[in-house]
Amino acid sequence: MLHTASMPITYWPDAVATTVYLINRMPTPTTNHVALVQLMFHTKPDYLHLRTFGCECFPLIPSHSHNKLQPNSTSCTFLGYTDNYKGYQCLNNINKSIIVSRNVKFVETSFPFKNQTQTLQTTSSALPTSMLLPVLAPVQTHGITGSHTPPSNISRSPTTAPIQQPTDSAPISVSSPPQIPARHHMTTRSQTGNLKPVARLNLLHNESTYSEPTSYTEANKSFEWRQAMAAEFFALQKQGTWTLVPPPTNSTVLGCKWTYRRKLHSDGSVARFKARLVALGNQQEHGYDYVETFSPVAKLPTIRVLFTLALHHGWKIHQLDIENAFLHGTLDDTIYMRQPKGFEDSLHPHHVCLLRKSIYGLRQAPRQWYNTFSAYLATIGFRHSKSDPSLLTYRKGNVHIMLLVYVDDILITGNNEGAISDTLTKLHNAFSLKHLGHANHFLGIKIQHNTYTYFLSQQSYANSIIQQSNLIKCNPVANPSSTKLRPIHRPICIGPILHCTDNSQELFNTLQSLVRTSHMLSTTSLNICTIHYQFIFSCSNC
C-alpha cells in the first residue's frame, strides 16, 4: 500500500490500521466465508465506503472554519478510516494536519506523494553538474566519554576541497525528511479557535437528554444494549410467549421491532438499560385480530388522594414494578408474528411466532394484562373502587390496604405492614415482582417525603419536554398568563403541558382557554403555548 502510493515509512501505522480494518471485513474460509465483523456484531459489512489508500481526496471544510470567500475544501491524502465514528482520515497536503470528515470526494487515480516524487526527480535531473554537492567523508571521531553533546565552539570541516560557488543563482532544493503530522482524532472548534459564546442557560444540566438508539443496527454496536436485548429475549422465552410454527397461508403475520429506553433514577441519572420487543400493532385489523382494547389506568387526582391519605395516617407507600407485565396476559385471538431481528432460530429461520401471551405492541395487550392482574387480586380479597377502577382496596377486620395500578407501576399502602408484606409475597409468587422500596419516582414525578409533607416534582419531565420542543434557550417568564405575545412559526404540542398542570395550579388556570380552542390553530394560541413552556422552564420544579 505504501509502495503503490509512494508514501514514506512514517505512514506505516496508518497503513497497518487500514489493513486491519479491511481484513476484519473480508470473508475467509476459516469462518465459512463470513466476515469477522459480521460474526461479532451480527451485521453484514458495507463495502461501498471503501477507498484506495493514499489517493487524493477533498474533504468538506466546515463553514465555521473558513469565510465565504475561501474554498470549502483542500487537497488531501487519504490515510484510512476512523474507529469511533463514521468518517475518513485525510492528510492536508499543505500543512500536514489531519482532517476527519464524513463528506469527502476521492480521486482514486491520483496519488499526491507519487506526484511529489516525480517532481523531485525531474528537478534533480534538471540541475547543472556544478549544482550537485560532493559526497563528504565521514568525520573521524575520537573516543568521547560521558555526554554525547559536542561543545558549541567546535567546528567540523570536511576533508575534501571546498565547494566552488556556482555561477548560476538558481536555488538548491534539498529534500528534508517528511514531518509526522500532529494527530488529532477530529478537528474541533476548540482546535481551530472558532468558539461561539456560551449562553448562560446552557449551564442547566439536563440528565434526561441521553441519546437512545432508534434501530437494531445502532443498538447492536453497544455492549449494554446487546445485554438488554438478550435479557429481554430470555424473559420472553421463559414466559413461553410464542411457539415457532410454519408460516400460515391465510393469516396476517405481524412484524416486530426493538425499542430502547434508559430507565432513570429520581434525579434523572441512568438506572439501567431497557430493551423491549414490541409487535407492530398498527398492522392488526379490528374484528379479526382484536376487539376490545380499553384498560383503566390510575388518574393523577387519585394519586394525590392516595398520598394525602398516607400522609394523614402516617402510612408508608411502597412502590412495585412488574417485569414484562404484558407477558402475563393470555391471548384469546390467534396472532402470528415474525421472529425478532438478531434472534432468529438457526434450525427454523423461516418459521413465525404463534403468540401465546399478550406481547407489547398488541392493541389488546394492556387490557389482557389488567384483566389477568385484577382477577388475581380479586382472589386474594381486593375489590375495585367505584370512582377509579385502577384503585383496589382490601378490608378485613382492622386491616386496610390500598393498591393503585398504572399498567406495570404499582403503589401500595395501608395500616398494617405485616399484611402488606404477605400481599407482596403472594404477588411475587404469581408475577415477576420487583419491590422498589419507598415511593420516590412514579410516572415521571419525583417524590420527596418528610414527616409532614409529600413534595411532588416534575423537574426531569419538564426538562425533557423543553428539550423536545427546541426551547432550551428560551427566556423564562414568571407568569404563564402574560399578554406580551410575539409571532412564532413553530407548532408546539399541548399534551406535554397538561401533564405538568397536576402539580402547578398556575398552569391549570391559564391552560383551560387554550385547550378549549386547541382545534383552531392560530398564532395567538401558539404564542400562549410558548409562554407556558417558558413558565415551565422558569420553575424547574413544576
CB burial class (10 A; 0-12, 13-18, 19+) of residue 413?
buried
Q: Is 90 exceeded by the pLDDT of residue 401? A: yes
User: And the C-alpha cell for 448?
Assistant: 420527596
pLDDT higher for 441 or 356?
356
- Say if residue 104's pLDDT is above 70: yes
Place of cell 503503490: 4
More confident call, 171 vs 344: 344
Let me know if 246 is exposed, middle or buried by CB neighbors in 10 A (0-12, 13-18, 19+). Answer: exposed
Number of neighbouring beta carbons within 10 Å of residue 316 = 14
What DSSP designation does 184 have?
-
382 has a pLDDT exceeding 90: yes
Rounded to whole angstroms, the Cα distance separating 122 from 241 reads: 75
Mean pLDDT of 376-382: 94
Provide the pLDDT for residue 119.
Answer: 63
Q: What is the pLDDT of residue 453?
A: 81
With 0-12 CB in 10 A as exposed, 13-18 as middle and 19+ as buried, what is 361?
Answer: buried
- Rounded Cα distance, 219 and 215, in Å: 6
Q: How confident is the model at residue 376 (pLDDT cuts 50, 70, 90)?
A: very high
Handedness of CA 499, 533, 209, 225 (dihedral sign): positive
Q: Which of 5, 11, 46, 8 is nearest to 25 (CA)?
A: 46
Q: What's the whole-number mean pLDDT along residues 424-429?
A: 92
pLDDT in tens, 199-243: 444 444 444 445 788 899 999 988 899 999 999 999 899 888 999
pLDDT band at 163 (very low <50, low <70, confident <90, very high): very low
pLDDT at site 43: 82
User: How far is the C-alpha of 505 from the C-alpha of 507, rounded, in Å?
Assistant: 5
> Model confidence over 404-416: pLDDT tens digits?
999 888 999 999 9
pLDDT tens digit string along 506-523? 555 555 555 554 444 444
| DSSP 8-state symbol, 277 | E
Structural contact between residues 469 and 438, judged by C-beta atoms closer than 8 angstroms: no
Q: What is the pLDDT of residue 166?
A: 46
* Across 368-396, average pLDDT: 92
Q: What is the pLDDT of residue 117?
A: 67
Using DSSP's 3-state secondary structure scheme, residue 128 falls into coil
Domain residue ranges in the chain: 2-113, 209-456, 458-538
Report the distance separating Cα 325 and Cα 96, nearest Å.
59
177: burial class by Cβ within 10 Å (0-12, 13-18, 19+)? exposed
From residue 317, alpha-carbon distances to 126, 397, 409, 434, 473 in Å are: 92, 21, 13, 15, 38
Rounded to 5 degrees, φ, ψ at 476 are -70, 150
Read off the C-alpha cell for 379. 382472589
Q: Give, as one character, the DSSP assignment of residue 143.
A: -
Residues 52-82: tens digit of each pLDDT = 999 999 999 887 777 777 888 999 999 999 8
pLDDT at 299 over 50: yes
Say what the pLDDT of residue 120 is.
Answer: 61
**499, pLDDT greater than 70:** no
Quick check: 262 pLDDT over 90? no
Closest alpha carbon to 384 in 371, 370, 374, 376? 374
Q: What is the pLDDT of residue 278?
A: 93
The pLDDT value given to residue 488: 40
Question: To the nearest whole number, what is the mean pLDDT of the chain?
Answer: 76
pLDDT digits (tens, 9 = 90+) for 29-59: 888 888 988 888 888 888 888 999 999 999 9
What is the pTM assigned to this prediction? Answer: 0.51
* Predicted pLDDT of residue 391: 93
Instruction: With a cut of 80, say whether residue 17 has pLDDT above it.
Output: yes
Which phi and psi angles does 264 have, rounded to 5°?
-110, 155
Question: What secondary structure letter does DSSP report for 192?
Answer: H
d(CA 106, CA 73): 12
The mean per-residue pLDDT over the stretch 129-139 comes to 49
**Nearest Cα to 131, choosing from 106, 167, 182?**
167
Q: Is the pLDDT of residue 131 over 80?
A: no
Q: Are 262 and 273 in contact (CB under 8 A)?
A: yes
214's grid cell: 432508534
Does residue 276 contact residue 232 with C-beta atoms inside 8 Å? yes
